[in-house]
Amino acid sequence: MLVPLVRALGAAAVLAAVCGTGAACATASGTGHRTAGQTGTRDGTGHDAAGPTGRGGAPDDEPFFVAPGSHAARQATTWRAAGRTADAHLMDRIAARPQAEWLTGPHPEAAVQDRTTAAARHRRTAVLVAYYIPQRDCGAHSAGGAPSAAAYRAWIDAFAAGLGDRDAYVVVEPDAVPHTVAGCAQVVPAERYALLAYAVDRLGRQSGTRVYLDAGNPGWIPDPARLVGPLRSSGVTRADGVALNVSNFHADRTTSSYGKRLSGLLGGTRLVIDTSRNGNGPHLGPGTDLWCNPPGRALGRPPTRRTGDPLIDAYLWIKRPGESDGTCRGGPAAGRWWPSYALDLAANAHD
């Protein structure tokens, strides 16, 4: 799993919240997720029409926040100045889309507060990723995380404090459940699931927050029944849903089919799907690292809540396109910006 670099937000405390090496409860609605802070009309898909109104604003067609100063935006500016106008135009395909902010370092509160405040100022919703579980990534490209269970619970408390009552989608701990199901030797399953349940419950107490627990992708744990017990132990029935395909490349149809099987086993759990780089589906070449900077990939469906599917709350760009998956296929360290890879993703995009 890649640790995306958190973009500079202009405050030293925010920079301290990110990885230096790269990478009271609202009432439930009839759809099984919280409606606090959301007053949009229904869109016929079984959940609110695109766009929470926020704190007194009008509904927006696409509510997610596009942060200024992203790697892609800066790259486009640089290329325009250098006369690479066509490449800059392609890079705008990334820069103009809302992408998640990953919180990966020990002090998340200031970064979360700054991002959600900026989003609220524009009557938009921030998309955030909580990525600090102990033994993160099972020691692989994005190894790290909290040094202890107590430190992690304190980190989640700080994250929640940063959210306040502002609107946010929070994806909880990509890979944490699938890694455990797959047999990560560094992890005690019951302890990890208890920490995830704490995160789901604590973050879910924030009135404007929707919480989605990561559940991997169709290629990792092909039989979704294997995830049911671990996800239940991790608090999924108290979350707003699960996140699928984070930092991966599986096509929308494949992922939604897998998600619906999983949802049925969980009694109707809702879904968000990462579409950031799945425009050409997964790489089918030889090797075991097909997830790591595969060639020939493309940007996927732009972020939206207008999914046309009553079970899918949103398509999101959770992985930030153009940030490396790790030191494979000539890439830089996980989370580092890789302009040539970003350019290929944009050039290959179908939208």
Active site residues: 137, 175, 325
Distance from C-alpha of 287 to C-alpha of 297, rounded to nearest angstrom:
16
Distance from C-alpha of 110 to C-alpha of 125, rounded to nearest angstrom:
17
Distance from C-alpha of 209 to C-alpha of 294, rounded to nearest angstrom:
33
The two three-digit tokens of residue 28, written as one number: 């439930």
* Structural contact between residues 137 and 292, judged by C-beta atoms closer than 8 angstroms: no
Helices (H), 6-82: 12-16, 71-81
The strand pair at 209-214 and 241-244 is best described as parallel
What is the longest distance spanned by two Cα atoms in the chain? 56
Nearest Cα neighbor of 103 from 84, 90, 116, 121 is 116
**Span between the terminal Cα atoms of the chain, in Å:** 26
